[in-house]
Structure 1
C-alpha cells in the first residue's frame, strides 16, 4: 500500500507543477529546470507504476488461483475504474513524451540523464501533443476524483492519521 501513496504524492507534484509551469512565460528564469523536474518525476512515476503492476499481478495470481472473485456489478465497476486509472497512469506520461519529443529531440531527462526518444521530432505535431497531454491529464484527474469518492472511508482515515496531534498529559 505504501507504493500507492508514493505514487499519489508523485501525481500531486506532477499535476500542481504541470498546471503552474504551463502558465509561465518562456523568458522566466528556471522554467526549463521546472520542466526537467516535471519530466523526471513523470519517469519516476512510470517506474513505480511498473513495479506496482508487477507486484499487483503476483498478488492477484496468488489470490485468484485459489478462489475466483464473486462477479457482481459492484466488482465490475471497481475493476473498470481501476483499469481506467492504470491506463491513464501510463497514457499521461507517454503523451508527455510524445509532446516533448515532438517539440525537441532528446529533451526528456531523468535526474540529468538524457533518455532515448520514444517519438520522432515533428514540429507539426507539437500542438496535438500538447492537447493530448492536457486532456488526458485532466481526464485522469477526474478519474482520480471518482476513485477518491469511491474510497471515501480510506481517505477519511488517512486524513485523520496525518492530521492527528498527540496531546501530552499535563
Structure 2
C-alpha cells in the first residue's frame, strides 16, 4: 500500500486540529457579549491559530509540490477521483483564503495582529468601517464553507474506510 509521507501526514493532522480549534474558538469568542478580557484573549488566540494555519498550509503546499502523493486507487471510479481532486483544491483555497480574510478583517477593524504577542504583522490596510463589515462577511462565509468542506472530506474518508473497505483513509493515518 502506497502511503503519504510522514511529513504530509503530520502536516495534514496538525492543520486539521488547528482549523477545528480555530473554528470552535471563533464560535465561542463571538458568542461572548460585549468586550471582556476573556473575549479579547480568545480573539488573540484565534488570530494566532489562523496565522499558524496559514504558515503550515504554505509549507504543506510546498511539500506536496515537491513530493508526489500516492497514486489514486485503481478501484475508485474516475468521477470520484475528480471529485476528490476538486475537494482538495477547494480545501487548499479555503485554508489560504480564510486566514487571509481574517487578517484583512482585523486590519480593517483597526486591530493589529501581533503573533504570539511577539511579532507584529504588517498592516496591509488601514481602518475602514465599510471594508470591515464586508471582510467580516467574507471571513464568515469562507469559514463556514471550510467547515462544510472539512465535514464532507471527513465523511468521504469514513465512507471509503467503512463502506468501500479500501485503504484511502489508512494511507493518511500515521499508525
Q: Name stretches of at least 5 consecutive residues in structure 1 with no aligned partner.
A: 162-170
**Partners in 1 of 2:79 and 2:89 — Cα distance?**
15
Q: Distance in 1 between matches of 2:125 and 2:35?
A: 27
Q: Mind listing any 5+ residue stretches in structure 2 that lack a counterpart?
A: 1-8, 162-168
Pick from 79, 82, 91 the counterpart of residue 85 of structure 2.
Answer: 79
User: Aligned with 1:116: secondary structure?
Assistant: coil
Distance 1:11 1:126 in 2: 23
Q: Report the counterpart of residue 165 of structure 1 in structure 2.
A: none
Counterpart of 2:54 in structure 1 is 46
Rounded to whole Å, the distance in 2 between the matches of 1:136 and 1:144 is 12
1:118 counterpart SS class:
coil
Instruction: Give the structure 2 partner of residue 129 of structure 1.
Output: 135
Give SS of 1:151's match.
helix
- The alignment status of 1:11 with 2:16, answered yes or no, reads no
Other-structure match for 2:145 = 139
Q: In 2 relative to 1, CA 29–84 (structure 1 residues): closer, same or farther, beyond 3 Å?
A: same
Task: Tell me how far 1:129 sits from its aligned partner.
Answer: 1.2
Q: What do residues 23-52 of structure 1 show as CA deviations (whole Å, max 9, x unaligned)?
A: 112232222121111101110111110111
Q: Any residues of structure 2 matched to 1:10-159 within 5 Å, and which? A: 10-60=18-68, 72-104=78-110, 107-112=112-117, 113-152=119-158, 153=161, 154=169
CA shift for structure 1 position 63: 7.3
| TM-score, normalising length: structure 2 | 0.78
Structure showing greater relative contact order (alpha-carbon pairs closer than 8 Å, 6 or more residues apart): 2
Q: Distance in 2 between matches of 1:27 and 1:19?
A: 15
